[in-house]
Amino acid sequence: MNGTEQPVSAASRAGSLSRRRMLAGAAGLAGAAVSERAHADSLADVPARGPGASLSGMSERSSFVHISRIPESTPGKRNVDPSAAINAKAPLDKLVGTITPADFHYERSHSGVPDIDPAQHRVLVHGMVDKEIVLTMDDIRSMPTTSRVAFLECTGNGWENWKSAPPDVTVQNTHGLVSTNEWTGVPLSFLINLVGVSRKSTWMLAEGGDGSAVARSIPLTDEIIAEGMLAYGQNGEPLRPAHGFPLRLFLPGFEGNLNIKWLRRLKFGDQPFMTRWETARYTQLQADGRARQFQLKQDVNSVITTPSGMMQIRKGYHRISGLAWSGHGRITRVEVSTDGARTWRDTQISLPALPKAQTRFEIDWDWDGTPTKIVSRSTDDKGNMQPDRDTFIAMTGTNALFHYNAQQTWAIAADGAVRNVLA
């Protein structure tokens, strides 16, 4: 044994062997299913090779790929004309991996999408600071940058299932107001140091440049100061207009409406600013009749995306797949039940599992054709576990509209039809 080698314990060897056996078993089941389907195939009928299309200024999707967001109004008002829509939901059932293409990232706006010339855009920083400043986009782009992969979620995600479960909805309808991107911008901490925010300042007002002048009070916690950013990049390119071009506030793990788009003003103070967006809007009426204000974190959540609502499956092998996320940290465990939450099995989490980012999970399932229900539940590294619906409603009631994170159940009929149910 040389100086760099370390002895391997029997327990370590056993654990390694156990994991290899588990992976081999999973690969064996999936591989057998694929081999059985592909046994009779050959390349005889594959189209002949030949010259392809010319290069272009931008790569287009294949003509065989049909995928889009869907415009929606209030709960239950789906597939509306875009002029009447208040959001557009991401096609979770058709996406792979964890990163959402920028043009499929969900959209939510209160007064349409402004067309802002970045050369004319300005950001005022004032209030309890040593030095009030007005920044141009050139100023902002000259500052130190940071990049981070993280999810963004509208507080209304899941609102379809608050009171009832419409059966004819897809996972895009029920959970399409969440997306994960790589965000690039200036650390909020850099700006705070630049202007000399007073130690007595405990809140920050962020205001957007849209027609509704959305503005929210944000507590200056250590977490927000350390992780927040003024973002101008999205998946390696400038922000799309629908997502805040040329500049937005981004606060990983916090509810979507705090992440102010088209950012034009930051004001620091020693108390909440009590804008109409946190008094008349974005408050929760609880089961006990009291209203909850400043419920800012997005709680641990998950959903099975395949198979999911309105899909049709056949008896036999299936690879159940879905997404899990938490505003409190990293997903460490996702379990799936294929018998209506009577028994649970651990899934395989696809790496990397990043904090405050969507995480892909998968598990093999051999369906015997018996009607059943499938459901997932996730746990994060802070010990938060996604609640079942009964527990969630007992705590929250059915008068609320935001922050729905109860377990999502899909019912599968004998003919393979997958439909949305509450439990």
pLDDT attached to residue 27: 59
DSSP state of 312: B
Higher pLDDT, 215 or 290: 215
Alpha-carbon distance 253 to 276, whole Å?
Answer: 23
Kindly tell me if the per-residue pLDDT of 121 is higher than 90: yes
Lowest mean pLDDT among 36-45, 53-62, 263-272, 309-318: 36-45
Query: What is the pLDDT at residue 282?
Result: 84
User: Is residue 1 pLDDT above 80, yes or no?
Assistant: no
Is 164 in contact with 75 (CB distance < 8 Å)?
Answer: no
Residue ranges per structural domain of the chain: 70-292, 301-421
pLDDT computed for residue 159 by the predictor: 86
Q: Which of 26-35, 304-313, 355-364 has the lowest mean pLDDT?
A: 26-35
DSSP state of 19: H
- Structure confidence at residue 38 (pLDDT): 57
Q: Is the pLDDT of residue 191 over 90?
A: yes
Rounded Cα gap, residues 185 and 233, in angstroms: 6
- Please tell me which residue, 32 or 375, carries the higher pLDDT value: 375
pLDDT, one tens digit per residue, over 224-262 is: 999 999 999 999 999 999 999 999 999 999 999 999 999
- Mapped onto helix, strand or coil, the DSSP state of residue 396 is helix
pLDDT at 8: 43
The residue-averaged pLDDT of 377-401 equals 93
Nearest one of 284, 294, 320 to 396, comparing CA atoms: 284
pTM: 0.90
pLDDT at res. 272: 97
3-class DSSP state for residue 31?
A: helix
**Whether 195 contacts 327, CB under 8 Å:** no
Q: What's the pLDDT at 35?
A: 57
Residue type, 341: A
Report the pLDDT value the prediction gives residue 160, as an integer from 0 to 100.
86
Q: Which residues of 17-47 are buried (b: 16+ CB within 10 A; e: fewer)?
A: eeeeeeeeeeeeeeeebeeeeeeeeeeeeee
Would the pLDDT of 156 be above 80?
A: yes
CA nearest neighbour of 374 among 382, 386, 365, 383: 365
- In angstroms, the CA 131 to CA 2 distance is 60
* Residues 28-40, mean pLDDT to the nearest whole number: 61
pLDDT confidence of residue 31: 66
pLDDT given at position 26:
55
**DSSP bridge pairs for 378:** 334
- Quick one: how many helices (H) and strands (E) in the chain? 6, 24
pLDDT for 209 equals 95
Q: Name the amino acid, one letter, at 376.
A: S
Q: At 10, is the pLDDT very low, low, confident or very high (cuts 50, 70, 90)?
A: very low
185-205 mean pLDDT:
98
Average pLDDT over residues 98-105: 97
Upper half-sphere CA count for residue 175 (Cβ side, 13 Å): 25
Does residue 204 sit in helix, strand or coil? strand
55-86 pLDDT, tens per residue? 889 899 999 999 999 888 877 777 788 878 88
CATH class of the structural domain 70-292? alpha beta
- Per-residue pLDDT, averaged over 117-133, amounts to 98
pLDDT for 416 equals 98
Taking 60 as the threshold, does the pLDDT of residue 15 lie above it?
no
Give the chain's mean pLDDT: 90
Task: Say whether the peptide bond before residue 166 is cis (omega within 30 degrees of 0).
Answer: no
Say which CATH topology domain 301-421 has.
Answer: Immunoglobulin-like (2.60.40)
Mean per-residue pLDDT, 8-14: 45
Amino acid at 34: V
